[in-house]
């Protein structure tokens, strides 16, 4: 999906990398609204990828349920390493915690979701946008004008 970034630069986002706990799922649950947005994004041609530390041991189940790819990363360094398989310029990352700095720093656009599980204050300088929910984060890639508006200088 073509997105007009800062200074009229053109960003083409093909892959959206998600964190699981505190991001895609809140208290271990992925909402129906979130599932429908994932489906919509897939139908639009986005590649949706989960990179998780899998603290609850349910990442494989969630990935299977949503039919999205899963890669494990036990810490920020491992998440950064997993990001190397994607084209940084065409990848967005969504997360909430310090472990996600590894994805934020290796993405063209990075978004934090400030939901019930919170965000770590250490991530603030590693993200472009902070939104109140995963549904809002995903919606930015459906309604890209809103994403462009938030990125604009
Ligand atoms: Mg998390």
Q: What is the pLDDT along the chain (153 residues), one digit of tens a residue?
A: 777 776 677 889 999 999 999 999 999 999 999 999 999 999 999 999 999 999 999 999 999 999 999 999 999 999 999 999 999 999 999 999 999 999 999 999 999 999 999 999 999 999 999 999 999 999 999 999 999 999 888
Distance CA 94, CA 104 (A): 7
What spacing in Å lies between the alpha carbon of 12 and ligand 1's midpoint?
A: 25
Q: Which domains does the chain have, with CATH numbers?
A: 2-147 (3.40.50.1000)
What spacing in Å lies between the alpha carbon of 134 and ligand 1's midpoint?
A: 11
What spacing in Å lies between the alpha carbon of 26 and ligand 1's midpoint?
A: 9
What spacing in Å lies between the alpha carbon of 95 and ligand 1's midpoint?
A: 6
Sign of the Cα pseudo-torsion (114, 63, 106, 141, in order) = negative
What spacing in Å lies between the alpha carbon of 53 and ligand 1's midpoint?
A: 8
Give the pLDDT confidence score for residue 41 in this predicted structure.
97
What spacing in Å lies between the alpha carbon of 137 and ligand 1's midpoint?
A: 14
């Amino acid at each position: 999906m073509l997105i007009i970034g800062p200074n009229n630069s053109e960003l083409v986002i093909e892959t959206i990398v998600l964190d699981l706990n505190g991001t895609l799922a809140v208290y271990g649950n992925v909402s129906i609204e979130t599932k429908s947005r994932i489906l919509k994004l897939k139908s639009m041609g986005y590649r949706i990828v989960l990179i998780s530390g899998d603290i609850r041991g349910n990442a494989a189940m969630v990935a299977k349920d949503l039919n999205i790819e899963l890669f494990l990363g036990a810490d920020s360094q491992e998440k950064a390493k997993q990001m190397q398989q994607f084209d940084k310029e065409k990848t967005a990352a969504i997360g909430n915690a310090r472990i996600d700095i590894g994805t934020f720093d290796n993405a063209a656009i990075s978004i934090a979701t400030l939901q019930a599980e919170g965000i770590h204050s250490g991530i603030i300088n590693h993200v472009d946008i902070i939104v109140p929910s995963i549904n809002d984060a995903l919606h930015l890639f459906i309604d890209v004008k809103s994403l462009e508006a938030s990125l604009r200088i």
